[in-house]
Structure 1
Amino acid sequence: MSATNELTPAQRDDLRTVAAMIIPASDEYKVPGADDPAIQADMLATLGRDTALVRQALDHLARLAGRPLAELNSAKRDTVATEFRATGGAAAATLVRVVLQCYYRDDRVLRSLGLELRAPFPKGYALEQGDWSLLDPVKARAGTLRRAQ
């Protein structure tokens, strides 16, 4: 490929397939799956610095599958996905993050969550107060990081 941020057609098919496995469409909540064409276009347009790791993840999936993931039936895809989760490392984590970030900025998904269609800043979003005691184990580890000089 000449452009560094492009995926091959097989990689794009596998991205669409794995995205649908991560977040399938829901009739109950009236939201598309992460394989929706608009969400996929957003993923491809915004890969940027994550392109290399996403390519690596998609290539690893194809190696585990023995062919493009999109060509497998759903049972075999699930088996490959289980192995991928165990062996995919940083590339797998990056692929999942890319799918999630693009999915959760889609207007239809935001509407289904009852969120205003706007940037989070400068107005921000109000969050319910949580249980601050959950941070106690982190606070107890104080001093494990090197102090700034």
Structure 2
Amino acid sequence: MTYGTLTDAEARDLRALAGIMIPASSAHGVPGADDALIFADILKSLERDTADAQMALKHLRELSGGAFAELAPERRTEVAMRFRHEGGAPLFALNRVVLLCYYRDDRVMRALGQEPRSPFPKGHVVEQGDWSLLDPVRKRAPMWRQV
């Protein structure tokens, strides 16, 4: 069986990785990214990032020396931390999909004190922060060349 273009093994590894990326928290009352509903959304939402996901999962499998999902929890965490540093652009794409789907879940939005709805047309109120934190960026020399 395949999920889109992911194999069963790739889907199992991705689910195990998603659970490490965003673990469940009983203290905050939120599921992890490996929750069945959230993970189904992740698989459905890969679309244009499928090739990057497969490349990232292949690298994860190489670092694991086999199936990432079958590693002991401690070893899985070690491999995930190494993968975090070596994953590059494919991992970035995968991370983006996981985060997008996670924060789209109604349970997560309620736990954050947000109404689970689209941001528009009502919008969301964002409290003002300390704008002085941007001063170092404003003072920095331009990183582009003038045309």
TM-score (norm 2): 0.90
Contact preservation (8 Å) 1:6, 1:44: no
Contact preservation (8 Å) 2:10, 2:57: yes
Say if 1:145 and 1:83 are closer, same or farther in 2 by CA, change over 3 A.
same
Task: Give the secondary-structure state (helix, strand or coil) at the position aligned to 1:40.
Answer: helix
Residue type of the alignment partner of 1:73 = A
Match of 2:29 in 1: 30
Match of 1:14 in 2: 13
| TM-aligned CA deviation for residue 143 of structure 1 | 4.1
Task: Give the secondary-structure state (helix, strand or coil) at the position aligned to 2:120.
Answer: coil
Deviations 1:90-123 (A, max 9, x none): 1122222211111111011111111011101122
Q: Which blocks of at least 5 consecutive residues in structure 2 are unaligned?
A: none
| TM-aligned CA deviation for residue 138 of structure 1 | 2.1
d(CA) in 2 for partners of 1:2, 1:75: 28
Give yes or no for the alignment of 1:76 onto 2:75: yes
TM-score (norm 1): 0.89
Number of aligned residues: 147
| TM-aligned CA deviation for residue 142 of structure 1 | 5.5
| TM-aligned CA deviation for residue 145 of structure 1 | 2.9
Moved more, 88-97 or 134-143: 134-143
Task: Give the secondary-structure state (helix, strand or coil) at the position aligned to 2:32.
Answer: coil
Residue type of the alignment partner of 1:14 = D
| TM-aligned CA deviation for residue 14 of structure 1 | 0.6
d(CA) in 2 for partners of 1:139, 1:28: 39
